[in-house]
């Protein structure tokens, strides 16, 4: 905890969906779901309009389709567009301070003290937050973000979550516990389902309840390292530094059990929950990895890791879980396990295109469509399979637009862009030679030779 509110945390609102609504004016103010659009797809994010119907990140797309009204847009992801927008935002943050730590594609910490130029009074940082939000919206063509500012990473991050979307919360130094203690324990990073369950059983629901427990109590409940960590966080004790440009080498999650677990069914459920978190973080970072690792610590503290490397990178929680479960079966849980971890390494960044590409027949996400070079025996996709919902296209006569739907040899395109009014829909033959895949559109009006201001 620092003496001044010098740590800023930014998290953009419904990020992928917000970029879609910027580039597709007919979708503004409407429910939009971005993710895998095939039979077994998973939701990456939903616009706030779609969240009103219950659509959520990590839900199956099939479930989101059941919940959302007709006319909801279900779109595959356009990673190049998200990256470009993210780069613009990260550039604005770097203008505030040399110490910027991007956490994911839409989230970063900034150490305002490191620039030596900011007045760090509560009034001044509040004004700085307000003006940053304005500049982000202007530079991104209307994508909004939520900002939290406080004396630590913990308080800044909680602040950015408190008033989402388009929020700004400054936690004045000295007021940390007033903000922290009413929150549920699950709002602290590192409290997974197993820990939360354990804490709930002994009546610990809020961070305040947690703070009322002694350190030995917490150590007895959740183990030594974890207990000490929670004891400190519940008191807002957090001195973690903002580390610039952290390079992510692997994404993993582990849980320590307070009692050794032997039941493979219970362990399997823990693996599923960890794989879901790992998959979500990979998705969020726009990355995937080829090596899945299972870490386990036995009752006698011997620790081992087992891994399997796939031919294709994955970020699919079901695939990660299936491999980790198999590795557990091979390693065995004899004598009991006190710790289990699931990780993915060998990471690569999605370049562009339909990052949620999936065959409609339920084939795995590592579909041959992604790697024609390594799957020569696969026939080329039928013409309408080249198109996916949300994709940017250009038609030689009709101009720029995006794919709304496809099937039965046809493709439906809406001809509009970030700088146009909502545009008309046309149905074309899927093999129309005048229709081409296109790069994401520019959202900034070209600065022509207008009057100089
Ligand atoms: P988040 O910041 O968690 O979510 P969000 O920006 O969509 O919504 P908000 O912050 O307003 O609650 O994640 C940022 C992006 O990362 C999100 O737009 C899509 C992607 N993502 C996934 O692909 N899978 C996931 O499970 C999550 C949580 C996010
Ligand atoms: Mg976000």
Residue 243 lies in a domain: no
Q: Do residues 18 and 12 lie in contact, with contact meaning Cβ atoms separated by under 8 Å? A: yes
C-beta neighbour count of 136 within 10 angstroms: 21
Domain boundary residue among 300, 317, 345?
345
Q: Are residues 365 and 340 in the same domain?
A: no
Q: 112 and 18 in one domain?
A: yes
Q: Which residues contact 353 (CB under 8 A, 6 or more apart)?
A: 79, 80
Q: Does 446 map to a domain?
A: no
Query: What's the number of domains the chain is made of?
Result: 4
- Any domain includes 18: yes
Our mutation pick for probing the ligand 1 site, out of 36, 42, 45, counting the most ligand atoms within 8 A of Cβ, is 45
| All residues at 6 or more sequence positions from 244 whose CB lies less than 8 Å from its CB, including other chains | 98, 99, 100, 101
Clarify whether residues 219 and 316 are in a common domain. Answer: no
CATH number for position 283 = 3.30.1490.100
Place 386 in a pLDDT band, splitting at 50, 70 and 90: confident
pLDDT tens digits for range 428-447: 999 999 999 999 999 998 77
Distance CA 6, CA 393 (A): 44
Q: Is the peptide bond before 165 cis (omega within 30 degrees of 0)?
A: yes
Q: Is residue 353 in a domain?
A: no
Q: Which residues of 233-243 are buried (b: 16+ CB within 10 A; e: fewer)?
A: bbbbebeeebe
Instruction: Identify any residues that bridge with 393 across adjacent strands, giving them in sequence order.
Output: 401, 437
Q: Categorize the per-residue pLDDT at 209 as very low, low, confident or very high, splitting at 50, 70 and 90.
A: very high
Residues whose CB is less than 8 angstroms from the CB of residue 110 and which lie 6 or more positions away in sequence, other chains included: 7, 8, 9, 10, 93, 96, 97, 99, 100, 101, 242
Q: Are residues 132 and 52 in the same domain?
A: yes
Residue 403 has which token pair? 């794919």
Domain of 132, in residue numbers = 1-175
- Is residue 413 located within the same domain as residue 269? no
**245 part of a folded domain:** no
Residue 21 sits in the same domain as residue 154: yes
If asked whether residues 33 and 131 sit together in one domain, one would say: yes
In the residue annotation, 107 being an active-site residue is answered as: yes
Residue owning tokens 């760090």? 120
pLDDT in tens, 19-73: 999 999 999 999 999 998 877 788 999 999 999 999 999 899 999 999 999 999 9
**Ligand 2 centre distance from Cα of residue 205 (Å):** 25
d(CA 299, CA 442): 57
Residues 227 and 266 in one domain: no
Atom 8 of ligand 1 has which residue's CA nearest to it? 14
How do residues 238-283 score in pLDDT, each as one tens digit? Answer: 999 998 866 667 899 998 888 889 999 999 999 999 999 999 888 8
pLDDT digits (tens, 9 = 90+) for 284-342: 777 888 899 999 999 888 889 999 988 888 889 999 999 999 999 999 998 899 999 99
- Same-domain status, 416 and 284: no
Q: Say if 71 falls within a structural domain.
A: yes
Residue 46 C-alpha to ligand 1 middle, in angstroms?
Answer: 8
CA–CA distance, 5 with 173 (Å, rounded to integer): 6
- Which member of 4, 20, 49, 107 is catalytic? 107
Q: Is the pLDDT of residue 360 over 80?
A: no
Residue 453 lies in a domain: no
Do 136 and 48 fall within a single domain?
A: yes
- Which ligand 1 atom minimizes the distance to the CA of 284? 16
Contact call for residues 296 and 304 (beta carbons, < 8 A): yes
d(CA 38, CA 280): 18
Give 174's pLDDT tier (boundaries 50, 70, 90): very high
- Cα of 57 from ligand 1 centre, angstroms: 7
- Tell me what pLDDT residue 310 has: 87
Residue 48 Cα: closest atom of ligand 1? 11
Q: Phi and psi dihedrals of 319, rounded to 5?
A: -70, -40
Q: Are residues 363 and 338 in the same domain?
A: no
- Could you tell me if residue 241 is inside a domain? no
Residues 338 and 398 in one domain: no
pLDDT mean over 390-405: 97
- pLDDT over 50 (residue 177): yes
> What per-residue confidence (pLDDT) applies to 105?
87
Exposure of 289 by Cβ count < 10 A (0-12 exposed, 13-18 middle, 19+ buried)?
A: buried
């Amino acid at each position: 905890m620092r003496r001044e509110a010098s740590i800023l945390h930014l998290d953009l609102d419904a990020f992928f969906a917000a970029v879609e609504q910027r580039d597709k004016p007919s979708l503004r103010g409407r429910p939009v779901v971005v993710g895998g659009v095939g039979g077994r797809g998973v939701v990456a994010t939903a616009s706030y309009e779609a969240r009103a119907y219950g659509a959520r990140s990590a839900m199956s797309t099939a479930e989101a389709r059941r919940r959302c009204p007709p006319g909801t847009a279900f779109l595959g992801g356009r990673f190049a567009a998200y990256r470009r927008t993210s780069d613009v935002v990260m550039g604005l943050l770097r203008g505030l301070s040399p110490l910027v730590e991007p956490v994911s594609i839409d989230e970063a910490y900034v150490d305002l003290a490191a620039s030596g130029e900011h007045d760090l009074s509560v009034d001044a940082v509040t004004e700085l937050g307000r003006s940053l939000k304005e500049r982000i919206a202007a530079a991104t063509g209307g994508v909004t973000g939520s900002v939290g500012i406080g004396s630590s990473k913990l308080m800044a991050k909680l602040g950015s979550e408190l008033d989402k979307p388009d929020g700004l919360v400054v936690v004045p130094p000295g007021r940390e516990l007033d903000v922290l203690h009413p929150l549920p324990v699950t709002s602290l990073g590192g409290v997974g389902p197993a820990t939360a369950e354990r804490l709930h059983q002994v009546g610990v629901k809020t961070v305040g309840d947690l703070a009322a427990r002694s350190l030995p109590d917490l150590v007895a409940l959740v183990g030594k390292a974890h207990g000490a960590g929670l004891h400190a966080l519940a008191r807002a004790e957090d001195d973690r530094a903002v580390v610039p440009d952290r390079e992510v080498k692997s994404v993993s999650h582990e849980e320590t059990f307070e009692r050794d677990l032997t039941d493979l069914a219970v362990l399997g459920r823990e693996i599923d929950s960890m794989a879901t978190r790992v998959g979500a973080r990979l998705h969020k970072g726009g990355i995937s990895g080829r090596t899945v690792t299972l870490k386990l610590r036995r009752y006698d503290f011997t620790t081992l890791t087992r891994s399997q490397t796939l031919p294709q990178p994955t970020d699919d929680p079901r695939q990660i879980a299936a491999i980790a479960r198999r590795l557990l079966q091979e390693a065995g849980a004899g004598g009991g396990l006190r710790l289990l971890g699931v990780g993915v390494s060998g990471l690569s960044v999605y370049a562009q295109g339909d990052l949620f590409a999936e065959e409609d027949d339920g084939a795995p996400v590592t579909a041959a469509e992604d790697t024609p070079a390594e799957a020569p025996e696969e026939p080329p996709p039928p013409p309408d399979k080249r198109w996916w919902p949300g994709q940017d296209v250009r038609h030689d006569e009709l101009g720029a637009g995006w794919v709304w739907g496809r099937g039965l040899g046809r493709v439906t395109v809406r001809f509009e862009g970030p700088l146009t009014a909502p545009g008309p829909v046309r149905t074309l033959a899927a093999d129309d030679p005048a229709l081409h895949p296109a790069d994401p559109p520019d959202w900034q009006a070209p600065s022509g030779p207008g009057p100089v201001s």
